[in-house]
Chain A
Amino acid sequence: MNIVLELVKVLFAFVLVMGIVPLLIWLERKISAWIQGRVGPNRVGPFGLLQPLADVVKLLFKEDIVPTNADKGMYFFAPLLAMVAPVILFAFIPFGPDIVLADYTFKLQVCDFGVSILFFMAVLSTAVFAVAFGGWASNNKYSLLGGIRAASQLVSYELILSGSFLYILLKWNTLSFRELIEKQAAYGWTIVSDFPFSLLFFILFFIAALAENKRAPFDLPEAEPELVGGYHTEYSSMKFAMFFMGEYIAITVMCFCMSVMFLGGYHFPGVVDVSGNFLNALLGLAVILAKVFILIFIYMWIRWTLPRFRYDILMRLSWHYLLPLTVILILVKALI
């Protein structure tokens, strides 16, 4: 019985994370259209909702071109990694409260290790390899430049991400996402219970997350005017689709992570408890999805509002301002 439940949960988690992607693509196009005073996709299905599906079908039917000069093994490996790594990341995120059954507590989280934050960090850092391998293996100068730029940018901003995780550990003294939410439910959400620090770290984490996901204003790896498509210039058909979808999955997972770390995850005072019956779990899922979509909307809002950074400014922002700020804030937090 338990095994069947776990299997259903795993399938549900996978469908959830994959199902958000087409929705995000549609949202992105609608929001960009709205911000720029256009209509956006409106032909395929009601409100153009089926547009992403049509895109995927088109990409499936496109010819797959593998350049003769490419390093074949790495060329195939990179898009796989770009997609699988963010999907695995989602396994560590709790997406709903515990359901208490007669003899069994059913956790709405694919796997709950005591150290899921460490696992999360470990898998997160493999994102660098996908872009670096993809850019290098294509044997194209634009791809190479895009790839090494991306690698450098990702490692620079990953330090700030890790620093924000460190703050969360200092604050809540736990390495498990689930315990994190339980503690936030008991003592108040991170963002309000530790006001000046939490807000600063939330902003730091948000900036670093934008850079990690290669979103504007940090989308230099794929700066069209200079680099054509960046690291995925030479990719076509399903391989390109995998880079594309992987990016959106990474955004979703990052927003899930942010809502768990700072905004109390699926907890909502008075409405959702950390464990309870089936209805409670459904409400919790709705609450965390609402938080995630608000964050995603901010992502898109920023993307269609701000211009792209110059590369030297991007690196200076990370190494000269954000990183020292993170380290000093952590020291101060530890002292208090």
Chain B
Amino acid sequence: MLLDFGVLLLYIVIACGFLTAALVAGRIIRPNKPYKDKLTTYECGEDTIGTSFIQFNVRFYVIALIFLIFEVEIVLLFPWAVVYKNVGLIALIEMGVFILILLAGFAYVWSQKDLEWVKSEIETEKEHGTNL
């Protein structure tokens, strides 16, 4: 077991070492002639307006939150899945309740339309009062 950890460490060190070597070799042999225009942000020939460190659509955040809840749940289910046959009925019922609570939350999110990426014109009209 301890040897396995050592071997894994060795493997990671070799991987990182190889990558660093590739980067250093590239740095030595490649040309380096930067000038101001070359180092500007790419934008299809236009000058970039403003920075990109901006607030973006909140839906991505909602998705990340739901993901977090589900992923934690699934990781919690991992040890259960390994032993549930030995523990018997009680394990099954307990996890069934657990999953059902989670599914109720999922149904709520779904009914709130947080999982809809495109809202229909009717819904937009309801929210904004006009048809955009």
Q: A residues touching B (Cβ–Cβ < 8 Å)?
A: 2, 6-7, 9-11, 13-14, 18, 60-69, 80, 83-84, 87-88, 91, 110-113, 117-118, 121, 125, 136, 138-144, 148, 151-152, 155-156, 158-159, 162-163, 165-166, 169-170, 173-175, 228, 233-234, 237-238, 242, 311-312, 315-316, 319-320, 323-324, 327, 330-331, 334-335
Judging by beta carbons under 8 Å apart, are A152 and B64 in contact? yes
Residues of A within 8 A of B64 (CB): 151-152, 155
Judging by beta carbons under 8 Å apart, are B39 and A91 in contact? no
* Residue of B31, B78, B110 ringed by the most chain A CB atoms within 10 A: B78
Q: B residues touching A (Cβ–Cβ < 8 Å)?
A: 1, 3-5, 7-8, 10-12, 14-16, 18-19, 22-23, 25-27, 29-34, 36, 38-44, 48, 51-54, 56, 60, 63-64, 66-67, 70-71, 74-75, 77-78, 81-85, 92, 95-96, 99, 103, 106, 110, 115-118
| Contact A327 to B38, CB < 8 A, known contacts A60-B26, A237-B26, A316-B117 | no
25 contacts between A and B (CB under 8 A): A10-B7, A18-B18, A63-B31, A65-B38, A67-B41, A68-B36, A91-B11, A125-B71, A138-B52, A139-B52, A143-B52, A144-B56, A148-B56, A151-B60, A151-B64, A162-B71, A162-B74, A233-B42, A315-B63, A315-B117, A316-B115, A320-B110, A320-B115, A324-B106, A330-B99
Residues of B within 8 A of A166 (CB): 74, 77-78, 81
Bound-state Cα–Cα, A237 to B30, Å: 9
Judging by beta carbons under 8 Å apart, are B10 and A68 in contact? no
Bound-state Cα–Cα, A156 to B109, Å: 14
| Contact A110 to B11, CB < 8 A, known contacts A68-B39, A152-B64 | yes
Judging by beta carbons under 8 Å apart, are A67 and B82 in contact? no
B75 in complex: contacting residue of A121, A141, A242, CB < 8 Å: A121
Bound-state Cα–Cα, A68 to B99, Å: 49
| Contact A60 to B25, CB < 8 A, known contacts A67-B39, A159-B71, A311-B117 | yes
Residues of B within 8 A of A13 (CB): 11
Residues of A within 8 A of B30 (CB): 60-64, 237
B52 in complex: contacting residue of A2, A144, A324, CB < 8 Å: A144
Residues of B within 8 A of A233 (CB): 42
Which residue on chain A has the smallest CB distance to residue B27?
Answer: A64
Judging by beta carbons under 8 Å apart, are B15 and A152 in contact? no
Judging by beta carbons under 8 Å apart, are B60 and A148 in contact? yes
Known: A2-B3, A233-B42, A234-B42. 9 other contacts (CB 8 A): A10-B7, A13-B11, A61-B30, A68-B36, A148-B60, A170-B84, A173-B81, A173-B85, A335-B92
Residues of B within 8 A of A174 (CB): 82
